[in-house]
Amino acid sequence: MFPKATISRFPMYFRVLTEYNHQNIALVSSEEMARKVGVTSSQIRKDLSYFGSLGIRGAGYDVAYLLAKIKEILGMDKKRRLAIIGAGKLGLALAGYTGLKQHGLEVAALFDIDQSKWGTTSGQLTVFPLTALASQKEELGMEIAVLTVPGAVAQTVANMAVQAGFKALWNFAPVRLVVPKNVIVQYEDLVVGILTLSHHLARKFG
Amino acid sequence: MFPKATISRFPMYFRVLTEYNHQNIALVSSEEMARKVGVTSSQIRKDLSYFGSLGIRGAGYDVAYLLAKIKEILGMDKKRRLAIIGAGKLGLALAGYTGLKQHGLEVAALFDIDQSKWGTTSGQLTVFPLTALASQKEELGMEIAVLTVPGAVAQTVANMAVQAGFKALWNFAPVRLVVPKNVIVQYEDLVVGILTLSHHLARKFG
DNA sequence: TAGATTGTTAATCGATTAACAATC
DNA sequence: TAGATTGTTAATCGATTAACAATC
């Protein structure tokens, strides 16, 4: 098995390879990529080696081939559709975030408990009542539920998502969720990064 | 020195302690906290031990005291003001994100290069021209620059922030920034989490 | 004192890096 | 073939966990 951190570096690899591809660069060495990404070349070779012998000894990595492989590893070869639950500021921002589309991820619909938000279109997206989650999941073929709701209701909403058949949750609420073990939860705590900065500032300047 | 991961767990400790505090619970054991946070009690004791002998043997941790200590460690004892550069969807969402305020962080102003956005108030916040960065930094006492701009201009904007005197950057653009070594950059890549999920889905279901 | 729980040490586990044989 | 760079092994580094002496 490979380190968890390996997968977390793949999005960055994907981006620099996309760039090389646009520049019509056909081959790239681990050394060259390493410089661009900001890791060691050893790290890159090791990360890639977990998924097979993807390079050419003496030459480097075929950009197009490696790009295809990484897309496959990250599940980007198939379009993944997301349901955003919680049409607040964060939910709406994610709905319009171009970074998702650039990585083959598509927000298909939003859901909210607040009646006043129903039907509202953000871009060409519709906000549905939370009760429509299961039916719309089937209708729109959504696989991943994004939780952008207050912490106090996160567990309840997670239960509904699980009930609706979602096997993957991307949770922005700072709450540990209890879910059946065939359901994957990815936690996203936006506050960690900024408080890490705040900590460093406090250390250095007080 | 302590593991980098130690600090990243502190925001979660802060939240559960805040909860205990609201419930008027005065003492809490590492075992109890561990259950709530979802880590081992050893981990909690170790994490805290890096910052002194914060507990009471045989009894546990004094909630109010530990809370104060953690606030201090995370630099939350002083209010930190943020400048959001890039008044797009993500920037506006962060400007209105209540999670920041709950952790003693205050967005003081937004900045954008796009003239049509200047003066626009989001909540009671103003969007300033990028050229006003240095003057407003002094005026409003901002310490942290939040970069919510496209990757293509992130380095240029980072340079401006450094020029304006910011010593800490919170960078949402998926680009490695080159900055003087007395400037701290915290990278926030929103795509990593969701692509990790996508990878797991691909593994399990194809 | 007896019971409980911390703080810390040592062992374990996991991830990164250096080095180089394999090979294009 | 000579030069280059991968893929992989072994060494190093770092983080977590288990266990228990210290002590409230």
Which residue type does B17 have?
A: L
- Which protein residue lies nearest to nucleotide D6, measured between its Cα and the C1' atom? A57
Strands (DSSP E) contained in A43-104 are 61-62, 80-85
Using pLDDT thresholds of 50, 70 and 90, give the confidence band for residue B199: very high
CA-to-CA dists, residue A107 to A11, A97, A127, B24, B42, angstroms: 19, 9, 11, 42, 40
Q: Which fold has domain A4-73?
A: Arc Repressor Mutant, subunit A (1.10.10)
Beta partners for residue A106, in sequence order: A81
Using pLDDT thresholds of 50, 70 and 90, give the confidence band for residue B206: confident
Q: Is pLDDT above 90 for A30?
A: yes
**A90–B97: do the CB atoms touch at under 8 Å?**
yes
DSSP letters spanning B30-95: HHHHHHHHTS-HHHHHHHHHTT---SBTTTBEEHHHHHHHHHHHTTTTSPEEEEEE--SHHHHHHH
Cβ contact B43 with chain C strand, < 7 A: no
Residues of chain A contacting residue B174, judged by C-beta atoms under 8 Å apart:
11-12, 15, 99
pLDDT more than 70, % of chain B: 100
Q: Where are the domains of chain A?
A: 4-73, 80-192
Using pLDDT thresholds of 50, 70 and 90, give the confidence band for residue A205: confident
Using pLDDT thresholds of 50, 70 and 90, give the confidence band for residue B40: very high
Q: Is pLDDT above 90 for A202?
A: yes
Using pLDDT thresholds of 50, 70 and 90, give the confidence band for residue B89: confident
pLDDT more than 90, % of chain A: 94
Work out the angle at residue A84's Cα, subtended by the Cα atoms of residues A78 and A90, and round it to the nearest 5 degrees. Answer: 120
DSSP state of B159: H
Q: What is the pLDDT of residue B126?
A: 97
Work out the angle at residue A131's Cα, subtended by the Cα atoms of residues A127 and A137, and round it to the nearest 5 degrees. Answer: 70
- B87 CA to chain A: closest CA distance, Å? 12
pLDDT in tens, A148-174: 999 999 999 999 999 999 999 999 999
Using pLDDT thresholds of 50, 70 and 90, give the confidence band for residue B128: very high
Q: What is the mean pLDDT of chain B?
A: 96
Tokens read off for A137: 């999941």
Q: Would you say the C-alpha torsion B65, B67, B70, B72 has a positive or negative sign?
A: negative
DSSP state of B170: E
Q: Which nucleotides of C are covered by protein (CB under 7 A)?
A: 3-9, 14-19, 22-24
Tokens read off for A150: 């207050």
Using pLDDT thresholds of 50, 70 and 90, give the confidence band for residue B120: confident
Residues of chain B contacting residue A87, judged by C-beta atoms under 8 Å apart:
none
Cβ contact A56 with chain D strand, < 7 A: yes
Tokens read off for A172: 């922005």
Q: Is pLDDT above 80 for A123?
A: no
**A89–B96: do the CB atoms touch at under 8 Å?**
yes
Q: Would you say the C-alpha torsion A21, A33, B145, A175 has a positive or negative sign?
A: positive
Least confident interval from A12-26, B79-93, B111-125 = B111-125
Q: What is the pLDDT of residue B124?
A: 86
DSSP letters spanning B94-148: HHT-HHHHHTTEEEEEEEES-GGGTT-EETTEEEEEGGGHHHHHHHHT--EEEE-
pLDDT more than 70, % of chain A: 100
Residues of chain A contacting residue B78, judged by C-beta atoms under 8 Å apart:
202, 206
Q: What is the pLDDT of residue A141?
A: 97
- Which protein residue lies nearest to nucleotide C16, measured between its Cα and the C1' atom? A43
CA proximity to B158, closest of B140, B182, B183, B136: B183
Q: Which of A191, A203, A204 is the best substitution to test chain B (most B C-beta atoms within 10 A)?
A: A191
Distance measured from the CA of protein residue B4 to the C1' of nucleotide D9, in angstroms: 28
Distance measured from the CA of protein residue B40 to the C1' of nucleotide D17, in angstroms: 8
* Average pLDDT rounded to a whole number, residues A124-143: 97
Q: Which residues have C-beta within 8 Å of that of residue A41, sequence separation ≥ 6?
A: A29, A30, A31, A33, A34
Q: What is the pLDDT of residue A121?
A: 77
Q: Is pLDDT above 80 for B123?
A: no
DSSP state of A199: H
Whole-angstrom distance, CA of residue A109 vs CA of residue B92: 21
| Long-range contacts at B137-142 (CB < 8 A, ≥ 24 apart) | B137/B83, B137/B164, B137/B165, B137/B166, B140/B81, B140/B83, B140/B108, B140/B109, B141/B81, B141/B108, B142/B81, B142/B82, B142/B83, B142/B108, B142/B109, B142/B166
**A176–B38: do the CB atoms touch at under 8 Å?**
yes
Distance measured from the CA of protein residue B110 to the C1' of nucleotide D17, in angstroms: 45
B115 class by beta-carbon count within 10 Å (0-12 exposed, 13-18 middle, 19+ buried): exposed
Distance measured from the CA of protein residue B58 to the C1' of nucleotide C1, in angstroms: 14
CATH number (3.30.230.10, 3.40.50.720, 3.40.50.1580, 3.30.2350.10) of B80-192 reads 3.40.50.720
Q: Is pLDDT above 90 for B18?
A: yes
Distance measured from the CA of protein residue A45 to the C1' of nucleotide D3, in angstroms: 20
Q: What is the pLDDT of residue B205?
A: 85
User: Which nucleotide's C1' is closest to A28 (Cα)?
Assistant: D5
Residues of chain B contacting residue A178, judged by C-beta atoms under 8 Å apart:
none
**A103–B195: do the CB atoms touch at under 8 Å?**
yes
Q: Is pLDDT above 80 for B122?
A: no
- What is the pTM (predicted TM-score) of this model? 0.95
Q: What is the pLDDT of residue A129?
A: 98
Q: Is pLDDT above 90 for A89?
A: no
Q: Can B4-73 and B80-192 be said to share one CATH topology?
A: no
